[in-house]
Chain A
Amino acid sequence: MTDPIVALEHVSRGYDGGRIIALRDVTLAVRPGEFVAVVGPSGSGKSTLLHLLCGLDRPTAGRVLFRGTEPASPVAWTKVRARHVGFVFQAFHLFPTLTALENVEIPMFGVVADRAARRRRARELLCRVGLGRRLEHRPAELSGGERQRVAIARSLANSPLLIGADEPTGNLDSRASGDVLDLLEDIQRRDGTVLILATHNREVASRAGRLVELGDGRVVSDRCAS
């Protein structure tokens, strides 16, 4: 069995000085090439788990290991996110004053030094997600589905090992949702990238190879999807 890309060891996450516990004593490992859907009702801790797996948040107890080691500081986690993690937000979070091309270039600052190389890579990625003719459009000039495609292209900018997606279809109609999920699935299959998707939608989750179900901050079940 291959070594995990990311692993949680007895991780808990509390807020307000421990009065609210979002995640309790979770142990979980995600290995290369996996497509994991994190499911559960609202408030079950899906997003918190996803944020911890992607290095966006720190646990209040336990350890988060990335490729076998625990990044020692917030700066070390920043480097991990820059080079190995892509993230797709439900609300896209594109920069309104930048074009699609420029939005995709953003994560490459500090990773790819050459300006022309950044531009070339951004163009390639936007072509890959089917937006080759929308390179110079700003987010306000794109549909919801197109914006999420730009966000997916952005998440791929530095060829990550892991992509986290928090309700990526939450703001999309059913047709755009299908397109976005097809795209994410295609990326996961072709590139062998780990895809971790948090959703409350069972239909969306059914596409994943592994289902992690949460309830009240605990892992209720962790199984291969049938």
Chain B
Amino acid sequence: MTDDTTPMTDGGTDGEARTDGGPPATVPPDDETPTWSERKERSQGLAQLTYQYFERSRREDEELRAESTYVERDVLGFPAWPHETLRNLAITSFFIGIIVLVAAVLPVHFGAPANPGSTPAVILPDWYLYWSFGLLKLNPINPGLEVLGGNILLGNEFLGIIAHGIIFAAITLVPFLNKGSARRPVEQPFWSAVGVTGVVLSFTLAALAIQNFFPIGLDLLFTLTFLLPAVGGIITYAVLKTMREGYMYDLNRRYYMLRPPK
């Protein structure tokens, strides 16, 4: 055995002859690291613009923070445990319980096997596609050309597909058309009316899809499909416009102090 004072090594260390390459040389000295302004000067074109924008936005951020009355704190809101966790667990269990309960009370039934040879009297998708199915039944408004003897320009099914495209495009474009800081329905009667029109339209289109089950004439149903959404929209607009005056007065003053209208 060796004595305790001598460290047991594989040959001893010598300060002059290092085999590990010495201290790392990957970090450049401070005077070689370009500052942000130097980088900005060096770069050109888009890169320069990017740097400039970053500086601007950082400055804007700082100014907004300096102006703001918002108090930042270390702990915001409820603690994750137990408040949030227990609340989320309760909501989740309740919701899953409802799914299981409904599944037990209303079990899913099963139809006849597929038969390509016989078309069933009623073809229906699941309820959430009724509106889509209703869009395929727009034949009466398919535009025709009198010069062509009333021939339709588009196939009826293609008309339905175009209608789908229009609806999805309209929904997608909403945030790019409706700007401003209004949030509540009373603050924006027009867009709320548009929303109600859309909701009612989805229901009436669903009714059009299951037209066989409605004891009213097809012409009337078709008219109502487009009349009811319009009526719903107009009523919403009128009601919200009327509510608006009184409501705006009551709106939280702090809200407008925090987010002043542009």
- A and B co-occur in one complex: no
